[in-house]
Chains A and B, each alone.
Chain A
């Protein structure tokens, strides 16, 4: 009898453990997602925008995802180690959120062919590396429209991080917007040669103002430029997130990066087994490049400008959204007078990533 009870008991225990195993593996099995951040998120700028996206993922999936984040990862060899560590921990999809993680991501992806990687703002893909990016330049076109209507000196000061295609296409889009409303205004560019150095960005802003610029735009990360504008009675645009807290009188509007929808889409694809990088040698289809129309780029409230200007800005915004405004539509002429494309044609995405010239309306030439 005792023996029989023992058998029953072990049978129950066995079936219970089997049941438990099944439950944990099929029902409460969260998708493990990894994120690599360039800095701590703080409450403004590039990484904060990614943090907001991550929060949207948490909100959407709840317990269905398990997220690991590594902050403050320098671009370079350290990034390789961090990404590899995330891969070893069994994350199924890893988002690497800065341009400089491109090679490290590809390198680790080769070692872990079953893990999916999403590299933000890169241009190299492979069988398990897709890329995601935002059409930041769409926001910059609207900035150009507002700047052209608001400037009194017709001098626009632009602070760029590095002379790479990403930044140059932003400057050119700004110029297109500017010249759509004001043919007399022109843009001077100062390269900071850094994404982030508040003092240097502030210095560059001061120099622009001393040189007569009254509207400032930036493609660097700190709010320093807007603070200098605020102090000196100039105007400017916020970067990545709303920066009006730093410059309530100077920020005209901010282009806000909205990564959430893209993250959610990619994680959903993975859950449904639909994740892919498309066909072809460079997996172009694996690139998610969304803008205003797909809600990945948001425009904050128009402020510190007269109603007519805000109305024009709103028109530009809806024009881009519904496709009636083509930012890089011909005829396009560079600032030396050379024709890029004739009327009736539009630059394709590939051509945007090859931009190494300034369009009409920008002073000087691209360094290097």
Chain B
């Protein structure tokens, strides 16, 4: 049981990191569909760095930087040149798939040391819970810290409220003097770094090698998670664990011969996302929407 829970947590963390980053990006009004691409570049960057510097912690930094690089490309196009965000995001993923394939070609077939587990003093000795919660790796702790921080940031801090204002109505935010483009740049870059770390987690912990397209669609699930969480940070944790849990549950079900077809379990997370979307949109009329109102709309300076 314990090892199954640990597997669920490990599977959830890339989703958690990437979705958290995307949440901040979307809160500022930018819809970046390039999460999958940013995760891939994070993965290849991390693997390259660890092979070169032989320390898995550099992998986290390199992953973040690779994701950041992709996010910068996206920002230049969508924020400065005001291209269509959906098209640019899709383009970014396709571009990154090719680029990482090229960059990763010399890395194929090499393995790297995994990220070590860090035991938290005393707490890790608690039976069961200690093993599950307090014997994790740095990225796992980091992801929870980031969730707590951005919850506070969005709700109580002034920059967080400005970020939301930019995402909800960029014209008003601009007219009271906030630098809309600059804020969106920051938010997109943060999203890129988080996605990069999420992608880096795959070779650093889950399967320590590089192979082309190894994120296999997890970036898209992260995007769905943001919607599932209705742009509320703590719900991403719940969502990621549900996604991870169902993924593992369907594997366990098969190994034990449960009579439920695995395909039904596989589609559950997506069904849950659609249901969440339906509930969200049915509520929009009642109290103001949770969806950032300017999401996906380009901002023109002259307005």
Contact = CB atoms under 8 A, between A and B. Distances in A.
B256 A211 contact: yes
Interface stretch (A202-210, A318-326, A345-353): A202-210
How many chain B residues sit at the interface, stated as a range, is: 35 or more
Interface residues of A, number: 41
A305 B12 CA distance: 36
A188 B257 contact: yes
B94 interface: no
B243 to A, nearest CB: 12
A199 to B, nearest CB: 5
23 contacts: A40-B105, A40-B212, A42-B105, A42-B109, A43-B109, A44-B109, A190-B251, A190-B255, A191-B262, A196-B211, A198-B207, A202-B207, A203-B7, A203-B248, A204-B251, A207-B7, A210-B4, A210-B252, A211-B252, A228-B207, A231-B114, A246-B111, A364-B254
B209 interface: yes
A365 B218 CA distance: 30
B255 A227 contact: no
Contact of B255 (A43, A208, A368): A208
Interface string A315-341: 000000000000000000000000000
B4 A42 contact: no
A9 to B, nearest CB: 53
A92 interface: no
A206 B3 contact: yes
A333 B252 CA distance: 27
Interface of B: 3-4, 7, 11, 14, 101, 105, 108-109, 111, 114, 202, 206-209, 211-218, 247-248, 251-252, 254-257, 261-263, 266
A274 B215 CA distance: 46
A193 interface: yes
Nearest to A243: B109
Contacts of A199: 11, 14, 202, 206-207, 214-216, 218
B261 A227 contact: no
A265 interface: no
Contacts of A198: 202, 206-207, 209, 211, 214, 216
A157 interface: yes
A227 B111 contact: yes
Interface string A184-227: 00001111011011111111101111110000000000111001
A43 B256 CA distance: 34
B7 A43 contact: no
A245 interface: yes
Nearest to B257: A364
A281 interface: no
Nearest to A223: B209
B124 to A, nearest CB: 20
A191 B209 contact: no
A367 interface: yes
Contacts of A364: 254, 257
Contacts of A44: 108-109
Candidate in B105, B209, B217, B248 with the most chain A CB atoms within 10 angstroms: B209
B216 A197 contact: yes
A161 to B, nearest CB: 13
A363 to B, nearest CB: 6
A150 B206 CA distance: 26
B255 A157 contact: yes
B202 A207 contact: no
Closest 8 CB pairs of A and B: A364-B257, A197-B216, A224-B207, A43-B109, A210-B3, A207-B251, A42-B108, A198-B207
Contacts of B212: 39-40, 42
Contact of B261 (A157, A188, A363, A367): A367
Contacts of A191: 254, 262
Given A196-B213, A207-B251, 7 more contacts: A42-B105, A42-B212, A190-B255, A208-B255, A211-B252, A231-B114, A368-B261
A26 to B, nearest CB: 40
Given A203-B247, A364-B257, A227 B4 contact: no
Contacts of A42: 105, 108-109, 211-212
A43 B108 contact: yes
Interface in A26-53: 39-40, 42-44
Nearest to B5: A210
Contacts of B213: 196
A206 B255 contact: no
A193 to B, nearest CB: 7
A201 B11 CA distance: 12
A200 to B, nearest CB: 7
A190 B251 CA distance: 6
Contacts of A193: 262-263, 266
A222 B207 contact: yes
Interface in A69-90: 72
Contacts of A245: 109, 111
Most A CB within 10 A of own CB, among B114, B202, B211: B211
Contacts of B266: 193
A197 B251 CA distance: 14
